[in-house]
Amino acid sequence: MNPFNGWLAASLLGIALAFGGTASAQTLIVGDQSFNNRTVMEAAGVLEGLPYTLEWKQFTAGSPVAEALNVGSLDIGFLGDAPPLFLGALGAPIKVIGISRQDLDGVAILVRKDSPIQKLSDLRGKSAAIWKGSWSQQLLFTALAKEGIAPSELDLRYLGALDASHALEGGSVDVIATWEPYVTQQELSGARVLATAKGLIPAQSFLVATDKAIATKHALLGDFLQRLYKAREWAQQPGNSERYAKAWVELTKADAEVARRWFARAAIRLEPISDQNISEAQQTVDFFHSINLVKGYQARTLFDPSFNQYLPATNPQAAR
């Protein structure tokens, strides 16, 4: 038997005992983005024999997921680090219970293929499209700081990711900072990458649960994390990222080549919370505090490492 499968089976048995036979009457309400997590779990077959009901709610961005968590209409949601960190500054009744990592080449600064801009230092006086309070803004401002360029030296346009892509293609801006699947879409159109998040920003994604769900559905959340972990590991096996992409395209009607390249590169994995994750979250809080978008606070207060028991220890610095 695969060691992970043995660990998972033992863990699921423990969770089943913790449910005390009541799980089938319970429902876990999950906030997903564009069917991404639902698709990989269904494609990997990890939802078979689920001892409770899953109710999926689909969103197109992280901010509405954060708001739904804040008002209690979700039990758990998937989103990038900034929205929950902003809510954490306001004392929202939520906690980060797991970390989702992807290849940081999927968060990038791009220019058109025919642009005269060749390097970050060429950006003075140029126009840029970014989304305020996101990886986009954090990446561009951090990259500019490394070059000694103030954001005020650019003509900044605050556009959502889709509108920013259209603006770049149409020539109304010189540069955009964005994330997947827009990075892959732009690259397939010939856009060039000036810089990625590697070495610049953490660009973490979080699994966030409400305090109420943690108190009343802890075992269900733990079971869900384990199944998602298994699905993400399945997607890393040869050929499975293409199966995942195909299933996602069938559901969303998105471009098949974009999906295939995106999922192959992203290599998304689920991790337990570590001290490094918390330190990187603090880096993000400090950045947005420095530009007056959030009050400063200790990011550690937003994390609940009790869910690390449900995931294999992939990092010796896992928080406890």
Structure tokens at 298: 């200790």
Q: What is the sign, positive or negative, of the torsion defined by CA atoms of 62, 308, 30, 74?
A: negative
Q: What are phi and psi of 153, to 5 degrees?
A: -85, 0
**128 in Cβ contact with 175 (< 8 Å):** yes
In the chain, which residues fall in CATH 3.40.190.10?
Answer: 3-102+203-310, 105-196
CATH superfamily of 105-196: Periplasmic binding protein-like II (3.40.190.10)
Distance CA 170, CA 239 (A): 36
Q: Per-residue confidence of the chain (320 residues) as pLDDT tens digits?
A: 344 444 454 444 445 444 554 555 799 999 999 999 999 999 999 999 999 999 999 998 899 999 999 999 999 999 999 999 999 999 999 999 999 999 999 999 999 999 999 999 999 999 999 999 999 999 999 999 999 999 999 999 999 999 999 999 999 999 999 999 999 999 999 999 999 999 999 999 999 999 999 999 999 999 999 999 999 999 999 999 999 999 999 989 999 999 999 999 999 999 999 999 999 999 999 999 999 999 999 999 999 999 999 999 754 455 64
Going from the C-alpha of 265 to that of each of 33, 93, 188, 242, 268, the distances in angstroms are 18, 34, 14, 11, 9
CATH class of the 3-102+203-310 domain in this structure: alpha beta
